Amino acid sequence: MQPQKGETYWWLLPYVNTELFNRGLKDFAEHFQVGPNKRVILPLDQAGWHTTEKLQVPQGIHLLPLPPYSPHWLPTKKVA
């Protein structure tokens, strides 16, 4: 997300698994030109595809697993 510009980055998928998450990480790194000179901390829940040893995390992306129960870390959404 880029709040200053009002831009956001999305992947909408019918399901998620390790293979798709790896593709998403790779695309994210390429899209935002993440690497040795530009780093990103990506907070994640502890879903199986976020914690597997089969992840291929591109250089410059650092995964930050959230505690198992942490609703205070999640964005709130107002429902009309």
Q: Could you report the per-residue pLDDT of 22-70, keeping only the tens digit for each?
A: 999 999 999 999 999 999 998 888 888 888 999 999 999 999 988 877 6
pLDDT at 4: 75
75: DSSP letter: P
> Could you tell me if residue 14 is inside a domain?
no
Whether residue 7 is predicted with pLDDT greater than 80 in this model: the reply is no
| Residue 11: per-residue pLDDT | 86
pLDDT for 75 equals: 63
Asked whether residue 64 is domain-assigned, the answer is yes
Dist. CA 9–CA 21, nearest whole Å = 14
In this structure, is residue 25 part of a structural domain? no
In a domain, 20, yes or no: no
pLDDT above 70 (res 79): no
Higher pLDDT, 73 or 80: 73
Counting the structural domains of the chain, the total is 1
